[in-house]
Structure 1
Amino acid sequence: MINWNNLDTLKSFDELKKVNRVELTKVMALENGAERVQKYSVPMAEGLTYNYAAKEVDDDVLAALDNLAKEAQLAEKFEELYNGAVINTGEKRMVLHHLTRGQLGNKVEADGVDKREFYEKEQKRIADFANKVHSGSIANAKGEKFTTVVQIGIGGSDLGPRAMYLALENWAKKNNTFKMEAKFISNVDPDDASAILNSIDVAHSLFILVSKSGTTLETLTNQSFVMDALKKAGLDPAKHMIAVTSETSPLAKSDDFIEAFYMDDYIGGRYSSTSGVGGAVLSLAFGPDVFAQFLEGAAAEDKLAASKDMMKNPAMLDAMIGFYERNVLGYESTAILPYSQALSRFPAHLQQLDMESNGKSVNRFGEAIDYVTGPVIFGEPGTNGQHSFYQLLHQGTNIVPLQFIGFKKSQIGNDVDIQGSTSQQKLCANVVAQIVAFALGKADENKNKNFEGGRPSSIIIGDELNPKSLGALLAHFENKVMFQGFVWNINSFDQEGVQLGKTLAKRVLAHETEGALAAYSKLFNI
């Protein structure tokens, strides 16, 4: 039987708080660190490895975390989720993004259909469409091939797909799978759409409108903006646009689109990169085979996340260590630091994934909770971040746990030797140095140059960033966020916090304002 209990009612949480804290500067001392680096490491899918040697844990802490994971029934709750239980209590929905990339458990039926078959059918429809675009059988009014694809969407319809596209762009060019350049319009700020439209040849551009409900204000506004630009160029918008939406959306059967591809309410926006939301743009940009490899990597990581053994389940282990840092050690933030320029927008995606999922102060049943939940997430690629905010990370008054990501090889393959080492070797040397510098610090009589150390970090290491390893990386973080939501007994799959601002914005535009809302509206001449 599954029990959904608040964290502070679990006996194992009280026991965890009694375990002695680890002094990172001692356990990571250079003479001991080598053994620890080898010991505290667990394999992930697609050649990735999660190494947590520089975290403030030891065998006693890990045993206590394992007990808590068992009492909180994390593995059983994940099993409930992928077998089709109504896990999203706020919206009374199942949570099925795992089904977009494989069948982990039992057959799941909803809306009168097998949902795995539904997702596979839509993926095949997208693949067929992309192949026809690439072959030229679907073309513009003059019969000329489309060369650019532009995604119009916001939130999960933008952040994840954009991050995934950028992550694979150079890889695809190197491996001759690059088909079309992709651009993204998200912000309702007209400068965003204008900048993209001014950078492309609209006559050879295919636009993807992404809105599950078909009512998203920013997306529909940008649709109108783009349609106006197409008309001014003497083009028929209906021959340049497709939609990714739900079957019940007003966009589903509209004559404004060449074709519509479907998703459903069981996949939240921030979890939708492996659905048609990511599938359409990535299949058009790189080809359906590349998107299939991406799904394969995600599915492989999902299988590891289904393990009941925390020490063999990298997502659960990462989640529990992060929970420990938040709820026992009291750290408020986590920095995501990919030492890969291809992952330049990955921290922004994880910011939404984590903060929109676990930024909650009530439990799954709408009752107030008395403990902290999701951390603040931020990050930038290394080595750029080293010359930006690492000063605070090294010597600031707050300790910020760090999650590094690094790869042994670059995507481009060719590199040059400069002063005895290649650029990739310099990149990897920097991440290695940062892990040890944060952990050990450096004593100096000049307090301005003193580094206290004791700053915890983990790293996910891979051979190369490619479609499969990217899929595994994405699934790891999705599952980590899910497990932490289970520990906190919150609903990680709705986002009521984004609704109030939308409601008030509509009131402003309808001139139904008073008080401060009216006063601020006047400042902008609305």
Structure 2
Amino acid sequence: MVTWNNLDTLASFKELSEVERVNLVEAMSGENGADRVKNYSVPMAGGFSYNYAAKQVDDKVLAALVKLAEEAQLAEKFEALYNGEVINTGEKRLVLHHMTRGQLGDAVTADGVDKRSFYVEQQERIADFANKVHSGEITNAAGEKFTTVVQIGIGGSDLGPRAMYLALENWAKKNGKFKMEAKFISNVDPDDAAAVLNSTDVAHAIFVLVSKSGTTLETLTNESFVKDALKKAGLDPSKHMIAVTSETSPLAKSDDYLAAFFMDDYIGGRFSSTSAVGGAVLSLAFGPEVFAQFLEGAAAEDQLSANKDVLKNPEMLDALIGVYERNVLGYPATAVLPYSQALSRFPAHLQQLDMESNGKSVNRFGEPVDYPTGPVIFGEPGTNGQHSFYQLLHQGTDIVPLQFVGFKNSQIGTDVVIQDSTSQQKLCANVAAQIVAFACGKSDENRNKNFEGGRPSSIIIGEQVNPQSLGALLAHFENKIMFQGFLWNVNSFDQEGVQLGKVLAKRVLAHETDGALKVFSDLLNI
């Protein structure tokens, strides 16, 4: 039987807190470091491996982490989740995003339907629609093909799909899979929508409105902005728009859309890239076959996440090390550093995925917790970050654990040799150097040039950013965050923290304000 207990009540957590700390400088220096790099690695799906040699762990710490995973019943909790138990206690809902890419366990029925069948049906409907758009069977009013797809959404309806599109855009162009350019409108700031529309041939654009409830203020505002632009261009908006929404929303059966594809309440926005939310825009941009490969990569990583052997489960191990860093070593943040320009928006997606999931101060039962939970997540692609915030990472007063992602090969497949090495070799040289520099440091009598080292990092190493590897990478982080939520005993699948501001904003717009809210409203000329 699964039991839900706070982290600080677990005997194994007390044991972990008492294990001797690892001196990372010593551990990663000389042959010791070489041995660790070879041995502290776990295979992943999609051609990846998770290497944690430069983390502050050794065999004693790992043994304690295994005990913690077993006492916290991480494997059993994941099994309960994918078999359809109500894991989202805040909203009393199932958590089913894994089922959009495969069936890990039992069949799950909700709302009177088999949920795996429901998700597959939506994927098939989207695939059929995308194929008809690409073939010219579905066209604009003039009988001309659509050339651009524009997604209108915010939060999880934007960050994940946008990051995935950007990750695969160059790969698709190189491999003959690029069907349509995709653009995204998210911010309610009118300059966002205007900038996208001003650079888009709207007569040949199809717009994807994404709103589960059909009532999201920012999204509906931007929809009106787009419809106005279409009308001014002499176009019928209903011939240029599709909806991704719930079956019960006002958008589901509206004549304002060419088609509607469905999601449900069991998939949170930040976990929705493998649902219709990502499926529509990615299938239109690259073709349904590419989206299917993306799902295959995620499903393969989910299978690894279900492994009960902690040391062979990359997501569980990554999660446990992260909790050790947060709750024993006391590190407040984590930097995500992909050494691939294709993943330029991946850290932004992970900011929402992690901080919206585990940025909680009460447990699953609404009781305050007495320990830190989710860390601050930030990042940039390398080597840009090296010339930005790495100064603080190397010599600042806070130690910030680092999560590198690196690839052996570029997406373009061609390169030039400059000063005896290619651009890709230079990129990989930088990430290898940074890992060792952070871990080992460098002594110097000039304190300004002294690097203490002892700054922990892990790296996920892959062959190339492609649909399958991207799916595996996404699933890795989704499942890592899930396991950390289990350890902290928080509900990782609701987001009440985003609601209060929305409520107050509606009061401002209705001019129902007083006190500081009224003064700020007046200052902003509302």
Q: Which TM-score tier does this pair reach, normalised by the shorter chain?
A: over 0.9
Identify the residue that residue 263 of structure 2 maps to in structure 1.
Answer: 263
Identify the residue that residue 344 of structure 1 maps to in structure 2.
Answer: 344
Identify the residue that residue 184 of structure 1 maps to in structure 2.
Answer: 184
Structural mapping, 1:167-206, within 5 Å? 167-206=167-206
Tell me how far apart the structure 2 counterparts of residues 47 and 233 of structure 1 sit (CA, whole Å).
47
Code of the residue aligned with 1:213 in structure 2: it is S
CA RMSD of superposed structures (Å): 0.4
Q: Is the partner of 1:69 in helix, strand or coil?
A: helix
Identify the residue that residue 372 of structure 1 maps to in structure 2.
Answer: 372
Q: Does 1:449 align with 2:453?
A: no
Q: Percent identity?
A: 82
Code of the residue aligned with 1:245 in structure 2: it is T
Tell me how far apart the structure 1 counterparts of residues 465 and 344 of structure 2 sit (CA, whole Å).
13
Tell me how far apart the structure 2 counterparts of residues 56 and 280 of structure 1 sit (CA, whole Å).
42
Identify the residue that residue 502 of structure 1 maps to in structure 2.
Answer: 502
Q: Does 1:224 align with 2:224?
A: yes
| CA positional deviation for 1:8 | 1.1
Structural mapping, 1:305-454, within 5 Å? 305-454=305-454
Tell me how far apart the structure 1 counterparts of residues 154 and 391 of structure 2 sit (CA, whole Å).
32
Q: Once the two structures are superposed, what CA deviation does each residue of 1:376-418 show, in whole Å capped at 9, x if it has no partner? A: 0000000000000000000000000000000000000010000
Q: Is the partner of 1:491 in helix, strand or coil?
A: coil
Code of the residue aligned with 1:184 in structure 2: it is F
Code of the residue aligned with 1:73 in structure 2: it is Q
| CA positional deviation for 1:30 | 2.2
Code of the residue aligned with 1:493 in structure 2: it is F
Q: Is the partner of 2:300 in helix, strand or coil?
A: helix
Structural mapping, 1:4-403, within 5 Å? 4-403=4-403
| CA positional deviation for 1:486 | 0.1
Q: Once the two structures are superposed, what CA deviation does each residue of 1:96-151 show, in whole Å capped at 9, x if it has no partner? A: 00000000000000000000000000000000000000001100000000000000
Q: Once the two structures are superposed, what CA deviation does each residue of 1:327-364 show, in whole Å capped at 9, x if it has no partner? A: 00000000000000000000000000000000000000
- Using the TM superposition, name which of 11-20 and 28-37 deviates more: 28-37
| CA positional deviation for 1:525 | 1.2
Tell me how far apart the structure 2 counterparts of residues 364 and 57 of structure 1 sit (CA, whole Å).
29
Q: Is the partner of 1:4 in helix, strand or coil?
A: coil
Identify the residue that residue 473 of structure 2 maps to in structure 1.
Answer: 473
Code of the residue aligned with 2:257 in structure 1: it is F
Code of the residue aligned with 1:453 in structure 2: it is G
Tell me how far apart the structure 1 counterparts of residues 378 and 150 of structure 2 sit (CA, whole Å).
26
Tell me how far apart the structure 2 counterparts of residues 46 and 136 of structure 1 sit (CA, whole Å).
33
Q: Is the partner of 1:455 in helix, strand or coil?
A: coil
Tell me how far apart the structure 1 counterparts of residues 227 and 9 of structure 2 sit (CA, whole Å).
55
Code of the residue aligned with 1:12 in structure 2: it is S
Q: Is the partner of 1:131 in helix, strand or coil?
A: helix
Tell me how far apart the structure 2 counterparts of residues 14 and 117 of structure 1 sit (CA, whole Å).
44
Tell me how far apart the structure 2 counterparts of residues 68 and 454 of structure 1 sit (CA, whole Å).
24
Q: Is the partner of 1:150 in helix, strand or coil?
A: strand
Q: Once the two structures are superposed, what CA deviation does each residue of 1:143-175 show, in whole Å capped at 9, x if it has no partner? A: 000000000000000000000000000000000
Q: Once the two structures are superposed, what CA deviation does each residue of 1:30-77 show, in whole Å capped at 9, x if it has no partner? A: 231111100100000121000000000000000001100000000000
Tell me how far apart the structure 2 counterparts of residues 436 and 525 of structure 1 sit (CA, whole Å).
52
Q: Is the partner of 1:209 in helix, strand or coil?
A: strand
The two structures have a TM-score, normalised by structure 1, of 1.00
Identify the residue that residue 493 of structure 1 maps to in structure 2.
Answer: 493
Tell me how far apart the structure 2 counterparts of residues 423 and 372 of structure 1 sit (CA, whole Å).
41
Identify the residue that residue 521 of structure 2 maps to in structure 1.
Answer: 521
Tell me how far apart the structure 2 counterparts of residues 233 and 350 of structure 1 sit (CA, whole Å).
38
Q: Is the partner of 1:429 in helix, strand or coil?
A: helix
Code of the residue aligned with 2:400 in structure 1: it is V
| CA positional deviation for 1:222 | 0.1
Tell me how far apart the structure 2 counterparts of residues 406 and 370 of structure 1 sit (CA, whole Å).
36
Q: Once the two structures are superposed, what CA deviation does each residue of 1:474-516 show, in whole Å capped at 9, x if it has no partner? A: 0000000000000000000000000000000000000000000
Tell me how far apart the structure 1 counterparts of residues 458 and 15 of structure 2 sit (CA, whole Å).
24
Q: Is the partner of 1:377 in helix, strand or coil?
A: strand
Tell me how far apart the structure 2 counterparts of residues 283 and 180 of structure 1 sit (CA, whole Å).
9
Tell me how far apart the structure 1 counterparts of residues 367 and 324 of structure 2 sit (CA, whole Å).
23
User: Which stretches in structure 1 are left out of the alignment for 5+ residues?
Assistant: none
Code of the residue aligned with 2:124 in structure 1: it is K
Q: Once the two structures are superposed, what CA deviation does each residue of 1:221-255 show, in whole Å capped at 9, x if it has no partner? A: 00000000000000000000000000000110111
Tell me how far apart the structure 2 counterparts of residues 452 and 30 of structure 1 sit (CA, whole Å).
17
The two structures have a TM-score, normalised by structure 2, of 1.00
Tell me how far apart the structure 2 counterparts of residues 396 and 129 of structure 1 sit (CA, whole Å).
52
Tell me how far apart the structure 2 counterparts of residues 246 and 133 of structure 1 sit (CA, whole Å).
23
Tell me how far apart the structure 1 counterparts of residues 519 and 301 of structure 2 sit (CA, whole Å).
51
Tell me how far apart the structure 1 counterparts of residues 247 and 509 of structure 2 sit (CA, whole Å).
29
Tell me how far apart the structure 2 counterparts of residues 68 and 391 of structure 1 sit (CA, whole Å).
34
| CA positional deviation for 1:524 | 1.1
Tell me how far apart the structure 2 counterparts of residues 515 and 216 of structure 1 sit (CA, whole Å).
27
State how many pairs are aligned.
526
Code of the residue aligned with 2:341 in structure 1: it is Q
